[in-house]
Chain A
Amino acid sequence: MHNGGADDIAKLIEPGRVHRRVYTDPDIFELEMERIFGRAWLFVGHTSQVPQACDFVTTELGRQPVIMTRHRDGSVHVLINRCTHRGAKVVNERKGHSPRLTCCYHGWTFDTDGRLVTVPVPEGCAADFDKSAFGLARAPRVGEYRGFVFASLSPKGPSFEDHIGPMKRNIDDLVDRAPDGTLALDAGMHRYVYAGNWKLQVENVLDSYHVPFGHASTVNKQGQQFARREGDRKGATVVEADKKQTAASWKDRKSYITGNGHGWTSNTTLDEGKRSSPAYDAYKQALAAKVGAARAAEILTPRLHNSLIYPNMSIMGLNIHVRVIKPVAVDRTEVTIYPIRLVGAPDAMNSGNIRLLNVTHSASSFVQTDDLESFVRAQKGLRSLGTDWVDISRGLGDEEPDRELNATRALATHEMVVRAQYKAWTGYMREAA
């Protein structure tokens, strides 16, 4: 990659395959940081992480360190975590509470809306020094939907509504499960890293093809995965026990795309009638008490497994969590997984969800670790010069419209979702920022 012109980018992506350089070329990675992470709507965090005025959390948007704050007037701000004086990172904690954000180097002090409040030894400043011009830089555009905060690091581009709008129902699907109608991302986080490109994780979240083989170690002799939800006695059937083949019910799963690189997979077939435990039953009652039994039953009918809000986050509807993908280098990626607390649900229900997430998506889990091994081996293999192309052609041409959902549908073991991600990728990448 020499100049990143539209023609160079176009040569990397073909209808059913992509060039291995999109995973291995550091120059392409730099272009991605500028053209995708430098302007796409990125998930920052959830307002429940900063419930009180002067609360803050720090995170990264791609490689950009940011602070999400709650100001005294209740507004939420996404500020660039870099002192406007000599460039030091201002806030070094993952989360905290402080009415002032003070840089450790010379003591420049900022308000929680980013305004520069104090400069030590002010008589040394230039005569025309204007404090109002030295506030912390901020994400040019910020949008929020039901507590989910997104930001774009570019002042221009598709609106928040244009980008996130089609995925609002996927957010609703999760938030509506909280009896009080709101979520809390206040149960800590899982963090893992792997020696591989960020897109390996993005492509994986909607990939139903890999599950029966990639996660074979989580499947028992009856072909079932371990239970992943509070109240379930067993998990999904992914393999036909007698045939050692992918189960028919697994092959029926669908995936959907809706433009912008977004997509989702349909629910795993589980026996909802048998889902029961003291915690789950109490939760069901609490939800029904708030929204009525009919609506509660509708909310609790699983429709979604995983949803990808391209390019940096996914929402899991099965064992609920939010996942954020942070590219570090062309061959290094960090991922944060937030357990979700359903506000208004009994503590035992939320505890059950938190505990099961430990064994599905932590760095030491039963599920995620085999994915990480696949990502690391993919990155190693893609360095080889043997073959230049990565095949993503499964089900090419078999996509069909789903008019009811205003989406395009395919079997979830096909690779339509990956092709859709590369369509969005190409859209960002071919235009200079």
Chain B
Amino acid sequence: MDAPRSGAPPAVGGAPGIDRAPFEQFLIHEARLLDERRFRDWMALFAEDGTYWVPAVPDQASPLDQASLFYDDRDLMRTRVERLEHPRIHVQTPPSRTAHLVGNVVVDEADEAKGEYLVGSTVIMVESRDETQRVFAGRQRHRLRRAGASFLIVQKRVDLINCDAAFEAMAVPI
């Protein structure tokens, strides 16, 4: 039998006193833009200096000295989105249909004075395309900056649980 507990219960994480609802709502909104293939609107969620990073190995320390599945700044993101809109993108003929589920949202760090936050969550994306359905799952980390009533993404990092696997072609962001 366990020894009787004494003192405070173990911390469960998360920045104290922060309401996670607006962050959760933001992440749900982002996922919805991707599922609706509103890639330009999705890109507009990113700050001008924002980046989208999907590492290719677990615990990858840097996108600068190692290969990544995605490491887009706004310029590369724009090229990616223009390509997704191109009528002759063969790998999206027919297009992917996706369903994102975002959960387990925790505001891990909050600097209210600067309006900067680090939000952790779990993402599952099911993708169906041309007879094949597959699942992507992983941990997300959104570094957000407050912008008026909402946020801008400074960095979105998605650590897929199978990030170092060999993948069939991936055309849409996770």
Task: Indicate whether B104 reaches chain A with its CB closer than 8 angstroms.
Answer: no
Q: Is B152 an interface residue (CB 8 A)?
A: no
Do B80 and A366 have beta carbons less than 8 Å apart? yes
Q: Is B54 an interface residue (CB 8 A)?
A: yes
- Whole-angstrom distance from the CB of B91 to the nearest CB of chain A? 4
Q: Quick check: is A193 within 8 A (CB to CB) of the other chain?
A: yes
Interface assignment of A358: CB less than 8 Å from any CB of chain B = yes
Proximity string of chain A (188-206) to chain B, C-beta cutoff 8 Å, 1 when within and 0 when not:
1111111100000000000
The interface size bin for chain B is: 20 to 34
- A359 to B68 alpha-carbon distance, docked (Å): 9
Does A334 reach chain B (CB closer than 8 Å)?
yes
- Tell me if B166 and A370 are in contact (CB < 8 A): no
Contact with B along A155-190 (1 / 0, CB 8 A): 000000000000000000000000000000001111
Q: Are B91 and A372 in contact (CB under 8 A)?
A: yes
What total of chain A residues lie within 8 Å of the partner, measured CB to CB? Answer: 40
Asked if A85 is at the interface (CB within 8 A of a chain B CB), the reply is no
* CA gap between A194 and B167 in the complex, in Å: 8
Docked Cα-Cα span, A363 to B174, in Å, equals 13
B13-21, B23-31, B58-66, B106-114 - the one binding chain A: B58-66
Which of A7-15, A213-221, A263-271 lies at the binding interface?
A213-221
B76 is an interface residue with CB less than 8 A from chain A: yes
Q: A194-B168, A374-B90 are in contact. Are A362 and B69 (CB under 8 A)?
A: yes
A61 sits at the interface (CB 8 A):
no
Shortest CB-to-CB span from A381 to chain B, Å, is 14
Say whether A357 faces chain B, with CB atoms less than 8 Å apart.
yes
Nearest Cβ distance between residue A187 and chain B, in whole angstroms? Answer: 5
With A192-B169, A334-B166, A359-B79: A351-B90 Cβ-Cβ less than 8 Å: no
**Contacting pair B65 A190 (CB below 8 A):** no
Task: Please tell me if the beta carbons of A358 and B70 are within 8 angstroms of each other in the complex.
Answer: yes
Q: Given A188-B57, A359-B79 in contact, is the A372-B65 Cβ separation under 8 Å?
A: no
Query: B79 touches which one: A226, A335, A337, A362 (CB < 8 A)?
Result: A226
- The B-contacting residues of A in range 100-152, CB under 8 angstroms, are none
Residues of B contacting A217 with CB < 8 Å? 83, 86, 88-90
**Which positions in A face B, CB cutoff 8 Å?**
94, 187-195, 213-214, 216-218, 220, 226, 334-337, 339, 347, 350-351, 354-355, 357-359, 362-364, 366, 368-370, 372-374
Give 20 pairs: A residue, B residue, CB < 8 Å, sorted on A.
A187-B66, A188-B67, A191-B164, A213-B88, A217-B83, A220-B82, A226-B79, A334-B166, A350-B65, A354-B64, A357-B67, A358-B67, A358-B68, A362-B68, A362-B70, A363-B170, A364-B69, A364-B169, A372-B91, A373-B90
